[in-house]
Amino acid sequence: MSQALLLTQCLQNDFVKPIGPHEQHPNLLHIGHAEARRLMGENPTEGPVARVLEWAYQQSDQTLKLIHIRDWHNSSDPLQLEHLSHFGQHCEAESEGAAFAFPVPENHGKNIGLVNTLTLNDFLNTNLEAELAPYQGQKCRVGLMGVWTEAKITYLAYELSSRYPKFELGVCSALTAGASRSQHFIALEHLNRLLGVKVFNSIAGFVNFLGGNVEDLPLTGWQKSNKPLLVLDSLPMLSETDGQLVRYLFRDARVVRLQRLSGGYSGNEVLGSRSSDLYGHQQVSHVIKIGWHHLIGQERMAFESIESVLGNNAPRIVDFVEHGERAALKYRYASMTNQFSQTFQSLYADMSQEALERLLYTVFVEQLGRLYAAARYEKNDLLAYYEYSSQLAPEVRRNVEKILGQPATGDTLTLDDGTRMPNLCTFYEQSLPRLQSQQAGSGCYMSYVHGDLNGANILQDEHSNVWLIDFYHTHRGHVLRDLIKLENDILYLMTPLEDDAALAEAFELSQFLMKVEDLRRPLPALEDMPLENPHLRKAYAALRTLRGFYPELIHSDRNPLQLLIGQLRYAVHTLGFAEASSNQKKWALYTACLCAREIEWRILEQKGELWISWLPRLRTAPGRLGLTILPGRTDRRRVLAQDLQNLKDQGVSHIVSLITATEMEAYGVPNLREAIASAGFAAYHLPIVDQGTASAEDMQAALNWVQDALDQQGQVVVHCVGGLGRSGMLAASFLRLRGLPVHQALAEVRAVRSPRAVETVAQEQFVRNFTNYKEL
């Protein structure tokens, strides 16, 4: 008895024989031009089906039992007339249409099972049950290949799983096809989810599943040799296996000139090609992607799932091959010239603003916009989607401490120029587990996305034609993901920061961007921004263009939390990039720290917990001083009693209120002072109008009360309405009286709370002038 079974389904000319793109289908069951070309290849004698079956015929019957299921009709049989009338004449017994669409080796010596079927149920009035009788009750791996995925393959898988529960079923996405690409992939998902069928993206994985050795998978139609000649533009040379893959893909060429394109994931080669045939004619250009077979298989499957949507802007996979542990894809782009293309990353520095805007429009509107147009609002835990995990905390700490050159301890981090920011390590080590339990019910707009859109995955030729490569990460995900990823790479990889002045201006840009509350609102024009560094001006212009695409994608979902979560994910990833300079990594770290604080604040407030921004302990010891929003704000559906209990649970003992009685009424907490006292807090009330300031004498009196509380190890919280303007002014004034210069006092408050803290010019000026009173 064989160790494994391979069942083919309807691999016959009337179902899968390649036809021209405009050629009429021979019947209603033929899978059509695109799917037939994908399944059988340009040349069916050398395509993926032919390669796998050539391998299968070489295996002994003890290793692999091969069964072909075929439609086999008799048009003179009255019982078949209705079926043939509905679907059209097809697979007439002994006809060319009923013949196998793959080459059958002569003298193969295998005992092939042959099952003739007339209906969707391959067990009805056939010999299939008899062929499988020896395997009843036995554990056995069974591979299925053929058509249609959504019908014949699915029904066969259901029957097999029901009748033979010990069978382990597997299919390969490259060796099955449906009436349409979308139905094919939906059927594969259902096979896996509902029937437990293993779905393999790579042929090599499928062969391994059946007990085969991928080294034995033949390179059909090509004899191993040093032809064609490969000319590579840079060292190192291709490995022997990778060279064989390229030679196979260009088996009709005499010379292939290859240009390495940066990009791709670890272990990959991405190559541009120019080749000439055996007669010296120049062939069209291609892009070749080489990598581990399971990753290349995943990319092929991911790309095929969106190929029809991208239309003429999409490349075409004209061939692919797997050999050993490696595999390769051969992409053809409709308008690609015979000149080597360049990556967006290599072109960016010298691009004009007009050219940059045109390229971004092409990528995000004309190309990927086809995917985004189908975006739908869905529940999605963005922290889980962007793969946040406290298990990454040790790696984050290593990268942060390498940038700082010292241990990352305390509530804040300090760069060598004195810049302070919230401790990113604390966010991953302590805050993230709590936030993950709070974020599960959130949502965002979802569509298919490229998934890893960086400057190396966008190509442009001398005629400004633009293409995308590397579809390995393509999936249905957050509609803003590609835009966030490219913004990250423009800022922290493509924007040079030559000196400390440029870095300081970059920090100011990050602070400004953190203030964005409405993702639909356009960013200020470049001429209205106080940016002097030309590289930062260019980066801001590109960023403004990218965010200009947001409104059409997010509709009414203006919440910046979705952007912050994506920004933090990619900024943290950049901290470990070798290609980022020291200043670029510092900028990425600064932005990541600001994002982490904003994310924590927004999620906790969104889910009901009051978030307190504590000043560094060394500034307030032996007590603590923090900032928060107005407890019980009814405009945010908060409950005063719950908020006060939450503050008590966080250890707060003293509360400073800076709002007026009118605001207490307006925000639904007219009894705020009484409720604070009843809850057992010590309280101080200094009413300051919104956006306004206090007198210096009143501020001094309030700070004396705060200092007395801190001396008693009190946990003091100050609030206004939003915990930004008036609260920030008091906190910064406190730090001024502790001896900090004005710029450091403002920076520390904004580092722990928000770049928006100390909101108005008048409030900032108050802090600057608050120097003539006794230091605490």
DSSP 321: E
Using the 3D structure, point to which of 606, 640, 658 is the last residue of a domain: 606
Q: Are residues 147 and 245 in the same domain?
A: no
Q: What is the pLDDT of residue 21?
A: 85
Residues 167, 73: one domain?
Answer: yes
Half-sphere exposure of 483 (CA within 13 A, CB side): 28
Percentage of the chain lying above the pLDDT 70 cut: 96
Could you read off the pLDDT of 82-97 as tens digits, one per residue? 888 888 889 999 999 9
Determine, yes or no, domain membership for 364.
no
For 711-715, the CB contacts below 8 A with 24+ separation are 711/622, 711/623, 712/623, 713/622, 713/623, 714/623, 714/624, 714/653, 714/654, 714/682, 715/623, 715/624, 715/626, 715/650, 715/651, 715/652, 715/653, 715/654
Tens of pLDDT along 58-77? 999 999 999 999 999 998 88
Mean pLDDT of the chain: 91
The least confident of 36-40, 259-263, 551-555, 623-627 is: 259-263
Question: Taking residues 636-662, what's their average pLDDT?
Answer: 94
Span of 210-224, 647-661, 739-753 with lowest mean pLDDT: 210-224
CA-CA distances (angstroms) from residue 256 to 323, 340, 459, 687?
A: 20, 13, 20, 78
Mark whether 405 and 501 lie in a shared domain: yes
Boundary residue ending a domain (590, 606, 622): 606
Indicate if 555 and 635 belong to the same structural domain.
no
Give the structural domain span for 246: 229-342
Do residues 437 and 504 both lie within one domain? yes
Give per-residue pLDDT as tens, 578-614. Answer: 999 999 999 999 999 999 999 998 888 766 678 899 9
pLDDT digit string, tens, across residues 514-537: 989 899 999 999 999 999 999 999
For residue 706, what is the domain's CATH number?
3.90.190.10
Q: What angle do CA 671, 673, 678 make, to 5 degrees?
A: 90
Q: 231-240, 387-396, 439-448: which has the minimum mean pLDDT?
A: 439-448
Q: Are residues 234 and 276 in the same domain?
A: yes
User: Which of 164-168, 551-555, 608-612, 678-682 has the least mean pLDDT?
Assistant: 608-612
Residue 153 clears pLDDT 90, i.e. is over it: yes
Least confident of 28-42, 199-213, 301-315, 327-341: 327-341
Q: Decide if pLDDT at 334 tops 80.
A: no
Which of 24-28, 320-324, 567-571 is modeled with the greatest confidence? 567-571
CA distances from 394 to 123, 428, 642 (A): 57, 9, 35
How many domains is the chain partitioned into structurally?
4
Note whether 619 and 601 are same-domain residues: no
Q: Is the pLDDT of residue 150 over 50?
A: yes
Residues 201 and 249 in one domain: no
Helix, strand, coil in percent for the chain, rounding step 5: 45, 20, 40
Least confident of 222-236, 551-565, 710-724: 222-236
Predicted pLDDT at 140: 95
**pLDDT, position 263:** 46
* Residue 648 domain flag: yes
Split at pLDDT 50, 70, 90, the class of 440 is: low
Angle at 480 between CA 479 and CA 484, to 5 degrees: 150
CA-derived radius of gyration, the chain: 33
Residues 629 and 488 in one domain: no
For residues 744-769, average pLDDT? 92
Distant-in-sequence, close-in-space partners of 524: CB < 8 Å, separation ≥ 6: none
645 and 515, same structural domain? no
How much is the average pLDDT of 546-558? 93
> So what's the pLDDT on residue 629?
93
Domain boundary pick from 606, 622, 652: 606
Maximal C-alpha separation, the chain: 109
> In whole angstroms, what is the distance from residue 549 CA to residue 265 CA?
27
Asked whether residue 133 is assigned to any structural domain, the reply reads: yes
* Burial category of 743 from C-beta neighbours within 10 Å (exposed 0-12, middle 13-18, buried 19 and up): exposed
Q: Name the pLDDT band for 556 (thresholds 50, 70, 90).
A: confident
Closest CA to 751 of 587, 512, 511: 511
Q: Which of 318, 301, 290 is nearest to 41 (CA)?
A: 318
Q: Is 774 domain-assigned?
A: no
Q: Are residues 170 and 35 in the same domain?
A: yes
What is the average per-residue pLDDT within 113-136?
Answer: 94
Cα–Cα dist 17/172, whole Å: 19
CATH code (residue 306):
3.30.200.20
> What mean pLDDT do residues 106-129 have?
92
Domain-embedded: residue 776 = no
Sheet with 458-460, side-by-side order of all strands: 342-343, 458-460, 466-468
CB atoms within 10 A of CB 121: 15
- Look at residue 434 and tell me if it is in a domain: yes
Confidence of residue 313 (pLDDT cuts 50, 70, 90): low
- The contacts of residue 691 (CB under 8 Å, 6+ apart) are 725, 759, 760, 762, 763
Residue 774 has pLDDT above 60, yes or no: no
Q: What pLDDT, on a 0 to 100 scale, did the predictor assign at position 376?
A: 92
Cross-strand bridge partners of residue 117: 71
| pLDDT range class, residue 626, cuts 50, 70, 90 | very high
pLDDT confidence of residue 462: 80
pLDDT above 90 covers what percent of the chain? 71
- For residues 41 and 366, give the distance between their C-alpha atoms in angstroms, rounded to a whole number: 29
Q: Same domain, yes or no, for 200 and 282?
A: no
- The verdict on residue 240 lying in a domain is yes
Any idea what the CATH number is for the domain that residue 72 is in? 3.40.50.850
Q: Which residues of 510-523 are buried (b: 16+ CB within 10 A; e: fewer)?
A: bbbbbeeeebeeeb
The DSSP 8-state label assigned to residue 421 in this structure reads: E
| pLDDT confidence of residue 701 | 96
**360 assigned to some structural domain:** no
